[in-house]
Amino acid sequence: MSPAPGSDLGYKPLDGGWGWMVVVGAHISIGFAYSTPKVLSIFFKEIQENLGASHSEIALISSIMLAVMYAGGPVSSVLVRRFGSRPMVILGGLLCAVSMVAASFGNSIVYLYLCIGIIGGCGLSLNLNASLTIISKYFLIKRPLANGLAMAGSPVFLCIMAPVNQYLLQKFGWRGSLFIFGAVMLNCCVAGALMRPLVPPRRPSTCAAQKNVEGEPNECNTKQKRSGMVNAKTFLDFTFFKDRGFVIYLIGNIMFIFGAYAPILFLSAYAISQGVEEYSAAYLLSIMGFVDMFVRPGTGLIASSKWIRPRIQYFFGFAMIFNGTCHLLCPLIKCYAFLVTYAVFFGVGFGMVFALMFECLMDLMGNQRFPSAVGLVTIIECFPMLLGPPAAGLLVDFDDYKYLFFMCGSVIVAGGVFIFVMNIYNYHMLEKEKPAKVREQNQMSVENQDQASASA
Amino acid sequence: MSASWKQLLFQILLLVSCRRINTKTPGPTAPPLVPITSLPTDERSASLEGESHTEKVELLNPVNLSLACTWTGNQNKLPNITGFWRKDGDEVENSQVTVQLEGDQYKLKRVFSIVSEESLGSYSCVFGSEEAKIEFVLAAPQVGELRDKPIVSYVGDSGVIACKMEETKPKPITWNWYKANGTDKEQIFAVAEPLRYEIKNEERKTKLVVHNLTEADGGLYYCGAVYAISTTMSHVELRVISFQEPLKPFIAIVIEVIVLVAAILLYERCQAKKNYTAGNGTIDQTNTMTQGENIEPEESSSVRQRKI
């Protein structure tokens, strides 16, 4: 049903073996990337008291970290393509560790913005991009499952690091905790060590030797041309916008990200406003995270199945619609038992979307274009991610919480419907264009065989 | 005494009917002070139907407080019953009176002069021989948001301790800070040692900054909210530790990371050697791709397919 751009790898990916260790590495790396901005907020109250900063100044640390992590996408994709995943994840881990250790000696808020926000954010952005890229290199058939397992790192690390950070804070205060947290982030280097590179660095000598022998453009150059590699110097490749599937994905994703995070931020506040006590309200988020942990690999498993895999873009749209519908139904819920049910379904929806998010991009773009694509997607996603929660917050100030849920739910449902419907159109158009493309490929293969026979 | 009778006219009568033994929140505070030569008066009363009841009274300034107890009695309604007052467990002298049963109730009332911290405490009216008891707990507003976990700071760093009075409670006249010295409390005068201590007072918040911490600076610190009647205290513990403490787990984790990375890379090298010695290309060359390979998608690649 869907075209198979993933087969442009040029070799049959492992789909197992050491690949599963790479998934473990990606799990750790992605776990740190997504959970760190959230778990750092545990330290904020003490930092605020010690440095005498205001609430908004402190909250900006997390926002800067997230923004840099997403905005650093293009740069990290270039670096990952040039140097491979392993050095980048190790470098990312070192950067994060250095940033946390340096921050523990800080005495002003601006210094923390620089250390945790900017340097830490850069480290995390390297981690994220490199981990996703290497999964696409190691897996094809079982790739959705691998992606689901890797993305599950986010809720798992959130659940682990939150109590660990609380404990560290009580025992060592905020400075000691940041210091030790820096060491913990060094485990990203372990994750990087697991990411065994697949392709050795290119050997230009062989190509040069061949060129001398033949005196005409040889296989090396045609290989480059055929794989369609974009010049490593371009950070933002705007030719992606010509790809229909990419644009559809991007628009749907922007709408999802805009509405995705606000309900998480305001869930406990909403529960408290409905009369639930504070401790139980905080428990709702833990329930959501716990469910998320299992849903992500589960979704990956389902998406790997024969029936869903070709229709994965539709599954993605469905997951978004499910998530949005949950939010739309939330304001109707008043009692705690139903709020727990909402938290469970929210976790399911959220996990499904995130497990499929990068898998769908890989499915659309193929392995060669994926690193640049993911960089472009993350930098564009920066904007809805930063604008969404404040916009929702404005709605809360304006009136009841219910408008927040209506807004988020409707935006997400609209995004899901858009993806669903537009993909029907996209596949229809691709079917039409297929005969032309097959003809073109046959022509190129004939050319290549001629050259091969000539050089033999 | 006409002024005080005028005061009585303006008083707030607080009648709390209570069927349970739980305490209720204190009633509205006394009306604002009218400057007169003698102490202002105030009244608090409570009625009881069970066995005992506790009432919290928040006081800011010295008053002549009149406490009234009303008891509905038990099964055998005696026409006369003895009643007396107790302060902090000790019987108040000459407070024993005989109470008549009026309209199915026993009433006991007494005026107390609350002038200083010693006058505050627990006042109880007791009917009969411990048959019924109403307790009035007189106190100045307590500092809320107590921090039960210690603040951890490092040697050479600046430690910040804060205290806050809730918005719903009246604001104190000023704040004082004390450091525990054995069993005593020593007041901290920031003016005397400006390089070491800094006290920042706002209406409802106060902050003590201790610069250049040493291990001796650790311990209990008390913040006192000063009211006309007394000072209420709350304490926070400051723990001062040296940099070696977090260094130990840090080094342990770094060693763990180095060991794991070394192990993984060594394993990889062993595997690569094994593949190499077993012969090129015959065993799964999973990690390498020779340069001259054809990479057309239609043709099955010459990389040996690994059995999953």
Convert the pLDDT of each residue in A84-104 to its tens digit.
Answer: 889 999 999 999 999 999 999
The Cα–Cα gap between B137 and B285 comes to 83
**Separation in Å, CA of A190 to nearest CA in chain B:** 5
Say if residue A292 is in the same domain as residue A185: no
- pLDDT at residue A428 greater than cutoff 50: yes
Q: Do A206 and B291 touch (CB under 8 A)?
A: yes
- What share of chain A in percent tops pLDDT 90? 47
- B282, B303 Cβ separation under 8 angstroms: no
Residue A373 corresponds to which tokens in the numbers above?
A: 């694509």
B273-292 residues touching A, CB cutoff 8 A: 286-289, 291-292
Q: What's the mean pLDDT in B234-250?
A: 90
Two structure tokens written together for B233: 């205290």
Q: Is the minimum CB–CB distance between B301 and chain A shorter than 8 Å?
A: yes
Average pLDDT over residues A211-240: 52
Look at the alpha carbons of A109, A115, A119, A120 in this order and tell me if their dihedral is positive or negative: negative
Binned at pLDDT 50, 70 and 90, residue A154 comes out as very high
Q: Is residue A114 in a domain?
A: yes
Estimate to the nearest angstrom the gap between the alpha carbon of B153 and the chain centroid.
20
C-beta contacts of A268-273 below 8 A and 24+ residues apart: A269/A396, A269/A401, A270/A330, A270/A401, A270/A404, A270/A405, A271/A336, A271/A339, A273/A401
More confident residue, A225 or A115: A115
| B97–A contact, CB cutoff 8 A | no
Please report the pLDDT score of residue B287 as a whole number: 47
A10 touches chain B (CB under 8 A): yes
Q: Which residue of B has its CA nearest to A442?
A: B298
pLDDT of residue B60: 82
CA distance B298 to chain A (A): 9
Tell me if chain A has a CB within 8 Å of the CB of B272: no
Task: Determine the residue type at B127.
Answer: F
The stretch A347-371 carries a mean pLDDT of: 91
Identify the DSSP state of A117. I
Find, in chain A, the residue whose alpha carbon is nearest to that of B253: A183
Tokens describing residue A14? 């492992």
User: Which of B246, B296, B305 is the closest to A12 by Cβ?
Assistant: B305
State the pLDDT confidence band at A456, using cuts at 50, 70 and 90. Answer: low
Give me the pLDDT at residue B19, please: 43
Q: Quote the crossing angle between the two packed helices A312-329 and A278-304, to the nearest 10°.
A: 160
Mean pLDDT over all residues of chain B?
A: 75
CA triplet A337, A326, A27: central angle to 5 degrees? 95
- Could you tell me which residues come within 8 angstroms of residue A329 by beta carbon, excluding any fewer than 6 positions away? A342, A409
Q: Is B253 on the interface with A (CB under 8 A)?
A: yes
Specify whether the CB–CB gap between A174 and A43 falls below 8 A.
Answer: yes
DSSP for A355-409 reads HHHHHHHHHHHHHHHHHHHHHHHHHHHHHHHHHHHHHHHHHHHHS-THHHHHHHH
Domain annotation covers residue A142: yes
In sequence order, the 6+-apart residues with CB closer than 8 A to the CB of A307 are none
Within a 13 Å sphere around the CA of B116, how many CA atoms are in the beta-carbon half?
A: 1
- Spell out which residues of chain B touch residue A455, defining contact as CB-CB under 8 Å: none
On the question of pLDDT at A215 being above 60, the answer is: no
H helices, E strands: number in chain B: 2, 17
- B103 against A196, higher pLDDT: A196
What number is the average pLDDT over the span A335-348? 91
Kindly state whether residues A380 and A319 are assigned to the same domain. yes
The verdict on A50 touching B (C-beta cutoff 8 Å) is yes
Tell me which of A3 and B233 has the higher pLDDT. Answer: B233
Eight-state DSSP code of residue B83: E
For chain B, list the domains and their CATH numbers: 41-139 (2.60.40.10), 151-241 (2.60.40.10)
Does residue A210 belong to any structural domain of this protein?
no
**Does the CB of A429 have a partner CB in chain B at under 8 Å?**
no
- H/E stretch holding A284: helix A278-304
Contact B152 A176 (CB under 8 A): yes
Strand order in the sheet with B231-241: B151-154, B231-241, B219-226, B174-181, B184-187
What's the whole-number mean pLDDT along residues A300-304?
A: 93
Report pLDDT for A267: 85
Check whether residue A168 and residue A261 sit in a common domain. no
pLDDT of residue B3: 53
A368 inside domain? yes
Is B294–A50 a contact, with Cβ atoms under 8 angstroms apart? no
User: Considering CB atoms only, which of B162, B296, B303 is closest to A12?
Assistant: B303
Task: At B304, list the tokens.
Answer: 């040996």
Q: What is the pLDDT of residue B131?
A: 75
Dihedral sign computed on CA atoms, order B98, B100, B104, B109: negative
Average pLDDT score, chain A: 85
Compute the distance between CA of residue A382 and CA of residue A29 in angstroms, rounded to an integer.
Answer: 20
Query: Directed axis angle between helix A41-51 and helix A18-39, to 10°?
Result: 40
The minimum CA-CA distance between A275 and chain B, rounded to whole Å, is 20
Q: Are residues A183 and B160, on separate chains, in Cβ contact within 8 Å? A: no
Specify if A220 maps to a domain: no
Residue B1 has pLDDT above 70, yes or no: no
Q: What percent of chain B has pLDDT over 70?
A: 77
Our count of domains for chain A comes to 2
Judged by a CB distance cut-off of 8 A, whether residue A187 touches chain B is yes
Residue showing tokens 């000598």? A205
Between these two residues, B308 and B5, which has the higher pLDDT value? B5
Contact A376, A240 (CB under 8 A): yes
Q: Does A192 share its domain with A264?
A: no
Q: Which of A6-10, B49-53, B159-163 is modeled with the greatest confidence?
A: B159-163
Together in a domain, A189 and A303: no
A133 and A17 fall within a common domain = yes
For the ranges A2-11, A116-125, A204-213, the lowest mean pLDDT is seen at A204-213
Tens of pLDDT, residue by residue over A367-386, are 888 888 999 999 999 999 88
Same domain, A268 and A364: yes
d(CA A432, CA A426): 10
Q: Which of A145, A173, A199 is the last residue before a domain boundary?
A: A199
Residue of B nearest to A181 (CA): B250
Q: What is the pLDDT of residue A8?
A: 58
Q: What is the DSSP letter of B301?
A: P
Model confidence at A436, pLDDT cuts 50, 70, 90, reads: confident
DSSP line for A308-331: TGGGHHHHHHHHHHHHHHHHHHGG
Looking at residue B25, its pLDDT comes to 41
B241 close to A (CB below 8 A): yes
The pair of three-digit structure tokens given for residue B181, joined into one six-digit string: 């010295």
The three-state secondary structure class of A425 is helix
**pLDDT band at residue B193, thresholds of 50, 70 and 90?**
confident
Q: Does A339 touch chain B (CB under 8 A)?
A: no
Size of interface A-B (CB pairs under 8 A): 112
Residues A264 and A318 in one domain: yes
Q: How distant is the Cα of A194 from the closest Cα of chain B, in angstroms?
A: 7
pLDDT band at A24; cut points 50, 70, 90? very high
Residue pair A127/A378 in contact by the 8 Å Cβ criterion: no
Å between A386 CA and nearest CA of chain B: 32
Reading the block at residue A76, the tokens are: 């990290």
pLDDT recorded at residue A207: 47
Of B245, B288, B294, the CB nearest to A172: B245
Query: Which of A199, A230, A263 corresponds to the end of one domain?
Result: A199
From the list B253, B261, B289, the residue facing A199 with the nearest CB is B289
A307 and A401 in a single domain? The answer is yes
For A434, the token pair is 């297929």
List the single residue in B265, B286, B289 with the smallest CB-CB distance to A17. Answer: B286
In the predicted model, is pLDDT for residue B32 greater than 50? Answer: no
Chain A interface includes B260 (CB < 8 A)? yes
Lowest mean pLDDT among A311-325, A363-377, B18-32, B112-126: B18-32
**Residue A410 resides in a domain:** yes
Q: Are residues A295 and A353 located together in one domain of the fold?
A: yes
Among partner residues A16, A49, A193, which is closest to B160 by beta-carbon distance? A49
Phi-psi region of B89 (alpha: psi -120 to 50; beta: other; left: phi over 0): left
CATH code of the domain in which A107 resides: 1.20.1250.20
- Domain membership flag for residue A52: yes
Query: Which is it for the CA torsion A15, A17, A20, A26, positive or negative?
Result: negative
Question: CA-nearest residue of chain A to B241?
Answer: A172
Whether B229 shows a pLDDT value over 60: the answer reads: yes
The nearest alpha carbon in chain B to A137 belongs to: B287
Q: Which domain holds residue A363?
A: 241-440
Angle (nearest 5°) at CA A361 between A357 and A362: 115
**Upper half-sphere CA count for residue A194 (Cβ side, 13 Å):** 23
Q: Taking CA atoms, what residue in B is nearest to A168? A: B246
Q: Residue A205: its chain B contacts at CB < 8 A? A: none
Give yes or no for A221 touching B (CB within 8 A): no
CA distance B101 to chain A (A): 45
**From the CA of B191, how many Å to the nearest CA of chain A?**
21
pLDDT over 60 at A80, yes or no: yes
* Cross-chain CB nearest to A223 (options B246, B260, B295): B295
Residues A188 and A333 in one domain: no
Cα(A142)–Cα(A14) distance, integer angstroms = 10
* Inter-residue contact A49 to A208 (CB < 8 Å): no
- Rounded CA-CA distance B257/A191 in Å is 10
Tokens of B219: 């311990």
CA-CA distance, A82 to B105, in Å (whole number)? 92
Rounded mean pLDDT, B220-233: 86
- Whether A425 and A318 map to the same domain: the answer is yes
Q: Are strands B231-241 and B219-226 parallel, antiparallel or unpaired?
A: antiparallel
Q: Percentage of residues in chain A with pLDDT exceeding 70? A: 89
**Verdict on whether the full-model pTM lies above 0.90:** no
Rounded Cα gap, residues A79 and A379, in angstroms:
15
Spell out where chain B has E strands.
41-48, 52-58, 63-71, 80-87, 90-91, 97-102, 105-114, 121-127, 132-139, 151-154, 159-164, 174-181, 184-187, 197-201, 205-210, 219-226, 231-241
Interval B267-302: pLDDT, tens: 999 988 888 887 655 444 444 443 333 333 333 333
- Asked if pLDDT for residue B31 goes beyond 60, the answer is no
| Nearest chain A Cα distance for residue B117, angstroms | 32
More confident site: B106 or A328: A328
Q: Are B52 and B133 in contact (CB under 8 A)?
A: yes
Give a yes or no: residue A234 inside a domain.
Answer: no
Whether the CB-CB separation of A70 and A125 falls below 8 Å is answered with yes
A395 contact partners, CB below 8 Å, separation of at least 6:
A403, A404, A407
Strand B97-102 relative to strand B151-154, pairing: unpaired
Rounded average pLDDT over B224-236: 86
Res. A178: pLDDT tops 90: yes
- Residues in chain A closer than 8 A to B294 (CB atoms): 219, 448, 452
